[in-house]
Chain A
């Protein structure tokens, strides 16, 4: 840019506030969250007690951390089906190193982080090298990790749970970072909620304010076009896969330090919840559109609904039905808003 742009450009329209709001991908999820929040607040007064709030925020937090990372990846036009099982794999690596081999917890955490990043980079590398859809590649990783989790755990421990983290060296300090509680108004809130906020803010800033964020939108929108204008597609996508793996490590670490034990079958099926939370938050399955804040709000809806149903004392048999209907409703609202948004753009 050598010449300064003119102060106003007659070619630019000036859409009204409502239209500008509708352009935000997360607006649908925010409306949905308000609805769910209002609904359960009316149905049961326990939902709004500090203990209640702590419970549903806690439920939403680890899901939210993953949903935000998965949202970035989906904006970049890819899926990661191995993310759910990877939360268990990382916890198992940490637990086995710390309890069976007597490593310091911090070292074990570093080792499992390296393992997670290796899996993430492998996912990205395979997707980019083979040209196969990431849905297929990560489905393979998902199954492989599931087998590894069970096989290695049983091989090393002779059972299917690894426990005893509490007596590992360095547990207290690592636990303080990942699994402590802070008290507000006499109620204990888990620190995972803060991690969730931190990850959401960081992801939002990266996505909206940095070059890497622009690259992410570009490779998700159209990889060939992005390549043509000089975006490093390969590196961007591999970095995005590494990001979900990092998030899986964070969630795995939070879980293992808080619950001090991990089961070999944990995390299976969660990958779809991450994707759903991201989609409620305005991500498109086709990539190139989405928001980190939206995904965090999607996870919040999940947490509020999951615990709200319990607070309302409904028969839990119907829980999944309610969840399914609610998700469809949220996605339909998103869709309607997006149509409107596209009209505004034109």
Chain B
């Protein structure tokens, strides 16, 4: 397009094409959407030969939690002879595009984490329509079956939050600070709401930015100094937990720290007594199991879970079992 006039012509031609082509709007209710099928050939795969699975998560690149999920998926792929492609994007729109991408590549299976199920609805349904088996992981369990996914592998966030809250109450705590580290992640809110229900005492939430560790520590410290009655901090991510431990020390507060999820630092902190316990959702399984399930589905038409989510958590790691878990966290599988 070198001159605006040709640009106008091209634009008009394209618009004309679009008018000639079958237009279809999105559906207003939850009936079947009228979008055209993708061009996937997943259904046409022979039951032998290569199986390629696309794992598409909403984790940001470099997130420790999702790294373990990725390890689980790639380990399973290596052991079962399945090719695993891992991609992630925190933006729900771009995550949906990655699902479309996998469909047009004609992969043999899709594993997707649904932090924002609405945004992924069309893409996941199109994948199912194209005959590609889909397994949802980590979040979005309540919508998984409705979208046509084979199964969901994950942890019920509100249940896990409730148990964490109850455990803190048993430890004799009265005022809890729940630290949310991703503004758009609905699962984190569910954890805090669950903790509120299970804890029974005063619960306040604090918003921090996971991409800025200095800010995380400073804000938790500030919150502890502002309200000295806080005697428990619940982190929802191992990186935040380490910052919270530093903040508690920095504010010379006596608050106990508990956290969701594990890494080597957290196991060290549990050993040292700085962290009371970690809620472990064993996310390695969230990467590993779907690959197994997809392979079983292709080779033997097996399904897992009986229509209910396959739960990988919550498990608890505290001083009683931290030693064996620690060595696994070290190698990036816990």
Q: Which of A50, A58, A257, A261 has the most chain B CB atoms closer than 10 A to its own CB?
A: A261
Stretch at the interface among B101-109, B237-245, B297-305, B319-327: B101-109
Which of B7, B29, B104 has a CB less than 8 Å from the CB of A167? B29
The tally of residues in A whose CB lies under 8 Å from a CB in B reads 66
Residues of A contacting B119 in the complex (Cβ-Cβ under 8 angstroms): 259-261
Which residue of chain A has the shortest Cβ distance to B186 in the bound complex?
A161
A52 to B126, CA, bound (A): 14
CB–CB B15/A194 < 8 A: yes
* A266-B184 CB under 8 A given contacts A184-B17, A194-B18: yes
CB–CB B184/A46 < 8 A: no
Shortest A181–chain B CB gap in Å is: 5
Which of A50, A51, A166 has a CB less than 8 Å from the CB of B29? A166
Q: How many pairs of residues, A versus B, come closer than 8 Å at their CB atoms?
A: 182
* Interface presence of B281 (CB below 8 A): no
Residues of B contacting A8 in the complex (Cβ-Cβ under 8 angstroms): none
* A186-B26 CB under 8 A given contacts A49-B104, A201-B11, A255-B93: no
A317 to B118, CA, bound (A): 27
Which residue of chain B has the shortest Cβ distance to A213 in the bound complex?
B4
Q: Which of B17, B22, B183 has the most chain A CB atoms closer than 10 A to its own CB?
A: B183
Residues of B contacting A172 in the complex (Cβ-Cβ under 8 angstroms): 25-28
Which of B22, B23, B97 has a CB less than 8 Å from the CB of A55? B97
B94-117 contacts to A, CB under 8 A, are 94, 96-98, 100-106, 116-117
Shortest A99–chain B CB gap in Å is: 11
Residues of A contacting B3 in the complex (Cβ-Cβ under 8 angstroms): 208
Which of A159, A163, A166 has a CB less than 8 Å from the CB of B30? A166
Which residue of chain A has the shortest Cβ distance to B28 in the bound complex?
A172
CB–CB B100/A55 < 8 A: yes
Which of A173, A261, A319 has a CB less than 8 Å from the CB of B118? A261
CB–CB B94/A59 < 8 A: yes
Residues of A contacting B40 in the complex (Cβ-Cβ under 8 angstroms): 51
CB–CB B36/A187 < 8 A: yes
Residues 178-205 of B, flagged 1 when their CB comes within 8 A of A and 0 if not, give 0000111110110000000000000000
CB–CB A150/B8 < 8 A: no
* Interface presence of B228 (CB below 8 A): no
A200 to B6, CA, bound (A): 12
CB–CB A293/B104 < 8 A: no
* Interface presence of B71 (CB below 8 A): no
Which of B86, B94, B106, B186 has a CB less than 8 Å from the CB of A160? B186
CB–CB B26/A261 < 8 A: no
A265 to B211, CA, bound (A): 13
* Interface presence of B122 (CB below 8 A): yes
Which of A52, A187, A197, A259 has a CB less than 8 Å from the CB of B96? A259
* Interface presence of B226 (CB below 8 A): no
* Interface presence of B121 (CB below 8 A): yes
CB–CB B85/A313 < 8 A: yes
* Interface presence of A104 (CB below 8 A): no
A172 to B39, CA, bound (A): 26
A264 to B101, CA, bound (A): 25
Q: Which 10 A-B pairs have the closest CB atoms?
A: A51-B104, A263-B184, A176-B25, A261-B118, A265-B183, A259-B119, A265-B184, A172-B28, A180-B25, A51-B39
Can you identify 15 A-B contacts, CB atoms within 8 angstroms?
A: A51-B39, A159-B186, A161-B118, A173-B25, A176-B25, A180-B23, A201-B8, A205-B7, A209-B4, A260-B26, A265-B184, A307-B101, A310-B102, A316-B88, A319-B61
Q: Which residues of A contact B (CB under 8 A)?
A: 24, 46, 49-52, 54-55, 58-59, 62, 149-150, 158-161, 163-167, 171-173, 175-176, 179-184, 186-188, 191, 194, 197-198, 200-201, 204-205, 208-209, 255, 257-261, 263-266, 293, 306-307, 310-311, 313, 316-317, 319-320
